[in-house]
């Protein structure tokens, strides 16, 4: 059965991701079985479900594939995503921001820079705690990091000294890490448990 | 080896694998997890939990022969180990005690 061209591309990506994985056949087989069940009612719905499941499974399995299996494709995908987050998208944000801002003093620029980075970290920490529950938050996390890194580029564009750049990169890492830690502890929500909706066991 | 305590999803997956017995494979476990929690977990998320449980030696798995209904792919069945069943009992007891304490605290108010 054919689930559409997009599904085929996604399936190839997943199959490549799971190349050396002992669960490979089981995961691909489960996807196929689920889509086959849905295809009895609607092939369109089956195709949609299949595509969605493959993409969501890639997102769920990517980190472990990169770390555990040392899978080159997964590693490259994570690397490209981080690169896009921290450099490419953020540089677009930086250009957009710096074109609209008047030139502030150095101290004010640094203060604003730190504030944005910490705030981005706090937001990222909050979102990280919820990413598993709300898939849209993943996109928001991407945006927040891009925003933080955008501020980083605004400061970066004022000076090209190596010492300045190194200090700034260190500061960026520490500030976003601290912010993220705060975000995760401040906004940690109580864990939901299915039995809490009904009577205790 | 990974940390040996159970996460929320791991607990549910282990309990359902235990309940399903010899029919516990990925798609069946996912179906029951969704039915019990009313949350839509992806197949990848379920397999991530199954993998962690296997790493912790709470589950062991074996593959079936290839099946036509799965495009010629096999199923992987998961069976709780003795350590898995013991951990499941321990986690259930802990939750039961927690609920009892909550109930008692509610009554004394």
Q: Does B42 map to a domain?
A: yes
Rounded to whole angstroms, the Cα distance separating A150 from A89 reads 8
One domain for residues A52 and A97: no
The pLDDT tens digits of the residues spanning B42-72 come to: 898 999 899 989 989 999 999 988 888 777 8
Q: Does A104 map to a domain?
A: yes
The answer to whether the CB atoms of B47 and A61 lie below 8 A apart is yes
Q: Does A76 map to a domain?
A: no
Rounded to whole angstroms, the Cα distance separating B62 from B74 reads 10
CATH of the domain at B33: 1.10.10.10
User: Could you give the number of structural domains in chain A?
Assistant: 2
Cα torsion A117, A123, A124, A129: sign? positive
Query: Considering only CA atoms, which of A22, A18, A155 is closest in space to residue B63?
Result: A22
Mutate: best of B23, B42, B50, B88, partner A, most A CBs <10 A? B42
Query: Considering only CA atoms, which of A42, A35, A39, A41 is closest in space to residue A8?
Result: A35
The answer to whether the CB atoms of B42 and A56 lie below 8 A apart is yes
The pLDDT tens digits of the residues spanning A23-72 come to: 888 998 898 888 888 888 888 888 888 888 887 887 777 766 655 555 55
For B95, the closest chain A residue by CA position comes to A201
State the angle between helix axes of A43-67 and A5-17 in degrees (0 to 180), rounded to the nearest 10. 20
Q: Does A194 map to a domain?
A: no
Q: Classify B71 as helix, strand or coil.
A: coil
Strand partners, B76: B63
Token pair belonging to A166: 């190194």
One domain for residues A176 and A88: yes
- Residue A94 structural domain: 81-186
One domain for residues A87 and A149: yes
The answer to whether the CB atoms of B26 and A59 lie below 8 A apart is no
pLDDT at residue A15, as a whole number: 77
- Residue B87 structural domain: 8-108
ipTM: 0.85
Mutate: best of A7, A23, A74, partner B, most B CBs <10 A? A23
Q: Which of A9-13, A28-32, A74-78, B81-85 has the lowest mean pLDDT?
A: A74-78
Q: Does A53 map to a domain?
A: yes
One domain for residues A86 and A182: yes
Asked if B16 contacts B29 with a C-beta cutoff of 8 angstroms, the reply is yes
Flag whether residue B25 sits within 8 Å of chain A, measured between CB atoms: yes
User: Degrees (nearest 5) of the Cα angle A42, A45, A50?
Assistant: 125
Q: Does A200 map to a domain?
A: no
């Amino acid at each position: 059965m054919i689930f559409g061209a997009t599904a085929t591309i996604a399936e190839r990506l997943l199959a490549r991701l799971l190349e050396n994985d002992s669960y490979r056949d089981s995961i691909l087989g489960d996807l196929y079985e689920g889509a086959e069940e849905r295809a009895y009612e609607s092939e369109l719905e089956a195709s949609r479900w299949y595509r969605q499941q493959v993409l969501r499974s890639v997102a769920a399995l990517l980190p472990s594939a990169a770390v555990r299996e040392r899978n080159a494709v997964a590693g490259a995908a994570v690397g490209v995503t981080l690169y896009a987050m921290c450099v490419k998208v953020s540089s677009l944000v930086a250009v957009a921001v710096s074109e609209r801002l008047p030139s502030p003093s150095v101290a004010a620029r640094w203060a604003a820079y730190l504030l944005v980075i910490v705030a981005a970290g706090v937001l990222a920490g909050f979102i990280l705690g919820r990413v598993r529950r709300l898939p849209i938050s993943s996109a928001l996390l991407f945006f927040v990091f891009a925003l933080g890194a955008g501020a980083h580029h605004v400061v970066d564009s004022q000076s090209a000294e190596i010492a300045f750049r190194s200090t700034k990169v260190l500061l960026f890492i520490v500030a976003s890490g601290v912010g993220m830690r705060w975000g995760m502890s401040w906004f940690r929500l109580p864990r939901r448990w299915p039995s809490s909706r009904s009577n205790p066991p | 080896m990974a940390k040996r305590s159970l996460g929320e999803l791991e607990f549910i997956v282990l309990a359902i694998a235990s309940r399903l017995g010899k029919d516990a494979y990925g798609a069946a476990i996912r179906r029951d997890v969704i039915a019990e929690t009313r949350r839509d977990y992806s197949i990848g998320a379920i397999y991530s939990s199954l993998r962690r449980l296997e790493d912790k030696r709470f589950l062991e798995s074996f593959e079936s022969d290839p099946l036509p209904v799965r495009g010629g792919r096999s199923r992987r069945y998961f069976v709780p180990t003795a350590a898995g069943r013991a951990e499941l009992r321990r986690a259930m007891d802990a939750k039961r005690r927690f609920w009892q304490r909550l109930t008692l605290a509610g009554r004394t108010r």
